[in-house]
Copies of this chain bind each other. A is one copy, B any other.
Amino acid sequence: MNKSSLLELLAEVQLGSVSPEQASARLATLPFEDLDYAKIDHHRSLRNGLPEVIYAAGKSAEHTAEIFSRMAATGIDVLATRADEATAAAVLAITPAARYHQQARAITLRQSPAAEPLGHIAILCAGTSDLYAAEEAAVTAELFGTKVTRLYDVGVAGLHRLMAQRDSLVTADAVIVCAGMEGALPSVVGGLVGVPVIAVPTSVGYGASFAGAAALLGMLNSCSPNVCVVNIDNGFGAAYTATLIARAASR
């Protein structure tokens, strides 16, 4: 149940077609639908206005599929991240309307009616190896109803490639930058734009990259004051925050 379906429900109450008792009962059952091994919290969607999300890593394909279908049954948009092929197969077997995004390792189900995008974000990645994180961000933001411009493979060792795309950058309400190795791209981008930059360190690299820690530290020490950082490989979180910013900017 998302915000607008809640408002609909309340309007029905106002109109008399649903009694307050009925509405109350329906709302009361929502907060903790208990699957025994996981409490599904339908209220978060109400609080934040964004779809429910399942973090599939470390869950069995079956559990993910069951949670996914239970959420789907409430009529909301659903997103599962970090889903491998097997999980995707399990989910689509039960919920055929869902769609698997291989590069993003994400499964989406759109049930809300088509609408104009709310806000615009640009998503950059430094190299082709960072695509998985950038695509997780892109798929997430698009499901959330945000317009996404992808600017990929624009690392700092070839500035002319970045500069060639500068026009697309400056019209975005927020920018997500995914980079591994030295993680220098967010600082450069932060100096080029006047909007918040969400930096996503990726675990791309070897040796002293320490699985993304080098990029993470680099981004936290950015000399551009409009850069803030999320966890290594956390494209989803970046898209979540960027969407909140873009929505606010486009209201």
With both chains docked as a complex, state the minimum distance between the C-beta of A74 and any C-beta of chain B, in angstroms.
17
> Chain B residues near A187 (CB, 8 Å)?
156-157, 182, 184
> Chain B residues near A183 (CB, 8 Å)?
182, 184, 218, 221
CB interface residues, A 2-36, toward B, < 8 Å: 31-32
If A204-B58, A225-B237, A231-B206 touch, whether A131 touches B244 (CB-CB below 8 Å) is no
> Chain B residues near A61 (CB, 8 Å)?
none
With both chains docked as a complex, state the minimum distance between the C-beta of A67 and any C-beta of chain B, in angstroms.
9
Residue A126 contacts which of B194, B204, B223, B248 (CB distance < 8 angstroms)?
A: B223
If A157-B190, A207-B203 touch, whether A229 touches B228 (CB-CB below 8 Å) is yes
CB interface residues, A 188-242, toward B, < 8 Å: 188, 190-196, 198, 201, 203-234, 236-238, 240-241
Copies in the complex: 8
With both chains docked as a complex, state the minimum distance between the C-beta of A145 and any C-beta of chain B, in angstroms.
15
> Chain B residues near A227 (CB, 8 Å)?
230, 237, 241
Q: Which 9 A-B pairs have the closest CB atoms?
A: A207-B232, A184-B184, A248-B249, A157-B191, A214-B217, A182-B218, A225-B240, A181-B221, A38-B128
25 A/B residue pairs, CB under 8 Å, sorted by A: A38-B153, A39-B153, A39-B161, A41-B161, A47-B191, A47-B194, A58-B129, A59-B129, A156-B191, A158-B191, A181-B223, A182-B183, A183-B184, A183-B221, A188-B188, A207-B234, A208-B216, A208-B217, A209-B217, A214-B221, A228-B228, A228-B238, A248-B248, A249-B249, A249-B251
- A residues near B (Cβ < 8 Å) are 31-32, 37-39, 41, 43-44, 47-49, 53, 55, 57-59, 63, 126-129, 131, 152-161, 164, 173, 180-184, 187-188, 190-196, 198, 201, 203-234, 236-238, 240-241, 244-245, 248-249, 251
